[in-house]
A and B are shown apart, each in its own frame.
Chain A
Amino acid sequence: MKFNDLLLGILVLLGGIAIYVSALGFTDIPGQAYGAGTMPRAIAIFAGCLGLFMIAKAAIAGTRMPRLELSGWVRSRRSVLSVVVALVLIVFYIVAAPSIGFVPASLVVMAVLMLTLKTRPLTAIAVSVLACVVIQQAFGRLLLVPLPRSEFLEFLW
């Protein structure tokens, strides 16, 4: 999805207005004219001016509002599927790792993504297992990061 300067300017201006309006509800430090809203308001004014500048510049240059311009990869069903799978796998890890543990969850993430990217199944599984054990040992044992544990894989810790 690609936007030209005019559309980006409009989005930035709208964003600035939204930040300004939301910042009106923030309180000041007691007895002062400044507080939680000062910085968001300053950012909003900066964004508003930037949006107006971009709109004016695009208008002077005669930029026409484009229809939605799609990037090359969006036209390939395989590429879209790969991106969606990658995003879904991250969500899967967030949801599943606390209950099933780091090792099975990370194995799924790596193996499924490798298979989606057309790695040979045997290579994908072997590399995923190896990488999983290395990461678990480096972070879980060496750096003492409390990665989610699986009861049946306690021996790894």
Chain B
Amino acid sequence: MSILAEAFGLVLQPYVLLVILASAAFGMFVGAIPGLTATMATALLVPVTFFMDPVPAIAAIVTATAMAIFAGDIPGTLLRMPGTPASAAYVEDAYRMTRSGRAEEALGASLVFSAIGGIFGTIVLVTAAPVLAEVALKFSSFEYFWLVVLGLSCAIFVSPGSVPRGMISLVIGLFAATIGIDNPAGQPRYTFGSVELLAGVQFIPAMIGLFAVSEVLRSVASGADMPAVEKGGRTGVFSRQWGNLKRYPVQALRGSVTGTAIGALPGAGADIAAWISYAISKKFSRQKEKFGTGHVEGLVEAGASNNGAVSGAWIPALVFGIPGDSITAIVIGVLYIKGLNPGPTIFINQPQLIYAVFIVFFLANIIMLPMGWVAIKAARTILSIPARVLMPIILMFCIVGSFAINNSPFGILLMLIFGVVGFLMEENDIPIAPAILGLVLGPMLEQNFVTSMIKADGSFLAFFERPIAAGLGLFTIAIWCIPLVLAALRRRRRASPAGA
């Protein structure tokens, strides 16, 4: 009990609380700008945390990250430009809700269920950290291979439109991911002599291009005459959320559980969690046909999931010193700088510090509600600006965001290329989301596939020899086969009365 009191003493200091507040505002700002990610917010905070004690330093990162992940939903909902990759899974539903005058309901759902997912993830972090981390540690390349294939399969099946067109999008994303020197043989692929392409296609400019620039081009093509959002359709940020929680309690819980579990897996963060949760939500929904048309159910589940993953990612980071995602990879570096070696001994040597981190997680997710409300209200005014004025400004933000990743004009060129590709894809009803996921998960897929093939000496059976890998593999195959079997059965049923 005295340790807990000591931990509260460490956190509830004016300086730490001020840091939490300032980091929350910073996370909101970074997350809300398309192109700036939660990882970028963390990276930008690291130099500032050098001047802080361990608790405020960690508090700054935890708060900014949680806030940035939520804030990524704001431009996604209002402008169809996800602020962070974790918001991309449900951007279509959120944006369509905005188009039908339900922007505040969509953002409120994102906010409330992000906080629920984050708090759930923290509870798991506090109670079950060692057990979950142990399971995740048992994962080998076989399990990771199936996990990636599962994520990619979900991306195809959750996309609006036909499955073959979703696959075309995936092929584009996977092919883009093969560019560069980062491959098993270390040989440059499709770089055409460009030094910048050796590092591969940078994800952020590609995402800005596919989602944001294509939208700007579309708006410009239509004379920047986007239909105005209904001013009278304001539903209130929080007013419908209790109803949503009562309507979708299973989805909220399932999203929180899935997000936390996926976040705890090394390498799999909020992005994958949101995609898988959205797919699960659609799969088990009674209103599957409404997904992608402005339905709140997917937002509830995936919104809870991506913030659950933020907390979940800290489980292996704190318990074993293995980063759960890119953000916790930076955090581990900060912990080492502060003289704190993450691992099981930290729980024994400095338990008050670990409890302080847990308290910070709770505070960050609670403070998200009022801060998020302010951010939503402020961002709402963006929509009152005419598109012919707004679109050029957004284009400028896209240009600067693409430049800021590597401080190189090459990022802007990539953004332009992917913007045109995204524009043409949308013209042909090819969904963009699978391309994004292919680009993100392509390197992980290749690494785990080649490693597994070498380990298995070319035998595909080895992909099913380990129990968890077999489970994940069979589940993935079922996702592909069940729709085919159901379609065949339907055709047979339709044919049989005719034959009778």
Main secondary structure of the interface of B (DSSP, over half): helix
For residue B190, which residue of chain A has the nearest CB?
A22
B185 near A29 with CB under 8 A, answer yes
Check if A104 is an interface residue, CB within 8 A of chain B.
no
Q: Specify which of B187, B397, B403, B404 is in contact with A26 (CB 8 Å cutoff).
A: B187
Instruction: Tell me the complex Cα distance, A98–B442, Å.
Output: 33
Q: How many residues of B contact A (CB 8 A)?
A: 57
B interface, CB within 8 angstroms of A: 44, 164-165, 167-168, 171, 174-175, 178, 183-187, 189-190, 213, 216-217, 220-224, 386-389, 391-393, 395-397, 399-400, 403-404, 407, 409, 412-413, 415-416, 419-420, 424, 427-428, 442, 445-446, 449-450, 453-454, 458
Counting from the closest, the 10 A-B pairs by CB-CB distance are A35-B185, A117-B388, A113-B392, A36-B185, A73-B221, A36-B187, A39-B446, A110-B392, A145-B404, A117-B224
Q: How many residues of A contact B (CB 8 A)?
A: 69
Instruction: Tell me the complex Cα distance, A146–B223, Å.
Output: 34
For residue B224, which residue of chain A has the nearest CB?
A117
A78 near B223 with CB under 8 A, answer yes
For B184, the chain A residues whose CB sits under 8 A away are: 29, 34-36, 38
Main secondary structure of the interface of A (DSSP, over half): helix
For B446, the chain A residues whose CB sits under 8 A away are: 38-39
B412 near A131 with CB under 8 A, answer no
Q: Specify which of A16, A27, A82 is in contact with B220 (CB 8 Å cutoff).
A: A82
16 further interface pairs, Cβ-Cβ under 8 Å (given A89-B395, A119-B388, A124-B389): A3-B428, A12-B168, A15-B171, A27-B187, A29-B450, A34-B453, A42-B449, A79-B222, A82-B223, A83-B221, A97-B409, A106-B399, A110-B396, A117-B224, A123-B389, A145-B400
For A113, the chain B residues whose CB sits under 8 A away are: 220, 391-392, 395
Q: Specify which of B171, B387, B403 is in contact with A145 (CB 8 Å cutoff).
A: B403
Give chain A interface residues in 17-54, CB to chain B under 8 Å: 19, 22, 26-29, 32-36, 38-40, 42-43, 46-47, 50, 53-54
B403 near A147 with CB under 8 A, answer yes
Instruction: Tell me the complex Cα distance, A118–B391, Å.
Output: 12
Q: Whole-angstrom distance from the CB of B479 to the nearest CB of chain A? A: 16
The answer to whether A26 and B391 touch (CB under 8 A), given A12-B171, A143-B404, is: no
Can you give 5 contacting A-B residue pairs, CB < 8 Å?
A32-B454, A39-B178, A94-B409, A118-B388, A131-B393
A interface, CB within 8 angstroms of B: 1-3, 5, 8-9, 12, 15-16, 19, 22, 26-29, 32-36, 38-40, 42-43, 46-47, 50, 53-54, 57, 71, 73, 76, 78-80, 82-83, 86-87, 89-91, 93-94, 97-98, 106, 109-111, 113-114, 117-119, 123-124, 127-128, 131-132, 135, 139, 143, 145-147
A91 near B416 with CB under 8 A, answer yes
Q: Whole-angstrom distance from the CB of B126 to the nearest CB of chain A? A: 33
For A47, the chain B residues whose CB sits under 8 A away are: 171
Q: Whole-angstrom distance from the CB of B144 to the nearest CB of chain A? A: 15
For A90, the chain B residues whose CB sits under 8 A away are: 213, 395, 399, 412, 415-416, 419
